[in-house]
Amino acid sequence: MGTDLNAPLGQNRKTHSSNTWKSGLTFGRLSLGIGVFALIGISVWTVLKPTGLIGEPKPETQVAAETSKPDEKTADGGKLKQQQASGALSGAHVEETLTNDGSVVTKFSPKQRDGDGPAFIQVGRTKGQDPRLAAFPNDALLEDSPEGRLPITGPDGLRPMDQYARPWSGARGIRIALVVGGLGLSQTGTQNALRQLSPDVTMAFAATGNSLQRWMQEARRTGHEILLQVPFEPFDYPDNDPGPHTLRVGLDAKKNLSELHYSLAQITNYTGIMNFLGGRFLSDADALEPVMRDVGRRGLLFLDDATSAQSLTGTLADTIGVPHGFADMVVDSQIDRTAILKKLDELERIARRNGSAIGVASAFDESVGAISQWMDEAGSRGIEFVGVSALVKDPQQQ
């Protein structure tokens, strides 16, 4: 022991071989390092996997959407087409199913979106116009002509009668459309009607009126659907003259269409036309047919005020496929407030019997006052007042 104590530090000790040191590094420390990394990896996977942060194989429907897979057949024989949405719809997968009756059912399902912008779901075209833009025309629904800018069906099939229609609930309750015409002929009368009448009233502007563009814009800004009253030849013409640019039986089709276009160019943003007089013209099929065809081609409706029992508008409209309607009653055939209120009550009975009714009137002070009072009361009886476009017979909706 003494020898060891007196020996220089580090001498006379056993040395470890290099193989022993290397063996410790290889099998001990290396194994410990691998175990630690494995433990960390398992912990990270366990934390991230439930949240979906680790990518998973794409579901079969997504793969079908991202690859141009041929259309498949559904169980009922329809065709299923899956497609990858892009642009504003890039946050969704889209499945379009063509059913046996020819309609297309579109299904949107969410997916992880690549972009950070807003996502929109396209639900198809709806009727009506953004109220903030209601006083301005859709330029895609206008064409230039020698007579001025005329309404026309848009390149995508959008019609003026859809674009400028007043939206309604879509419920199948009791519905009434009230049309007040002659607007633009009297400045004070027009102003009174715009001030008193509910936006649910359809306003018909006479093509021969004054300041029509101004009044049209005001009517649209306050929510009214509007029509244009076109002058047609009555039986007692010229003793009863509707005014300049009247369409007449004695004129050829080209001239009558030119007169029609002159009237159509006076304003914009209307869903259709309504006759102003016209008993003789509306009863002559040869004179009326070119006019009805032009109205239909332009995506407009035709409202007949039903003052002529010999009118052929309904027969021709059905044959040609033009949206059209007939008034059930002229509510102010007597310019008396009490008489008008009684007529409106009768119109309500017609609507309850048939489900809907159309009443027409002129912008007399008595008519406007009676209609305004009656609508306030009738609304509490469960009647929905709608724009006239909601009640016409539309071939596209058959």
Residue-wise pLDDT tens digits, 137-165:
999 999 999 999 999 999 999 999 999 99
pLDDT at residue number 88: 39
3-class SS string, the chain: CHHHHHCCCCCCCCCCCHHHHHHHHHHHHHHHHHHHHHHHHHHHHHHHHHHCCCCCCCCHHHHHHHCCCCCEECCCCCEEEEEECCHHHCCEEEEEEECCCCCEEEEEEECCCCCCCCCCCCCCCCCCCCHHHCCCCCHHHEEEECCEEEECCCCCCCCHHHHCCCCCCCCCCEEEEEEEEEECCCHHHHHHHHHHCCCCCEEEEECCCCCHHHHHHHHHHCCCCEEEEEEECCCCCCCCCCCCCCECCCCCHHHHHHHHHHHHCCCCCCCEEEEEECHHHHCCHHHHHHHHHHHHHCCCEEEECCCCCCCCHHHHHHHHCCCEEECCEECCCCCCHHHHHHHHHHHHHHHHHHCEEEEEEECCHHHHHHHHHHHHHHHHHCEEECCHHHCCECHHHC
User: How much is the pLDDT for 35?
Assistant: 64
Query: For residue 282, what pLDDT is reported?
Result: 98
Q: So where are the chain's domains?
A: 60-110, 131-397
Give tens-digit pLDDT for 20-53.
Answer: 444 444 555 655 566 656 666 665 555 445 444 4
Query: pLDDT per residue over 295-341, tens digit each?
Result: 999 999 999 999 999 999 999 999 999 999 999 999 999 999 999 99
Q: What is the pLDDT at residue 295?
A: 98
Instruction: State the pLDDT at residue 314.
Output: 96
Q: Which CATH superfamily is domain 131-397 in?
A: Glycoside hydrolase/deacetylase (3.20.20.370)
Which stretches of the chain score pLDDT less than 50? 1-25, 47-48, 50-69, 75-76, 81-91, 113, 119-125
Q: What is the pLDDT of residue 42?
A: 60
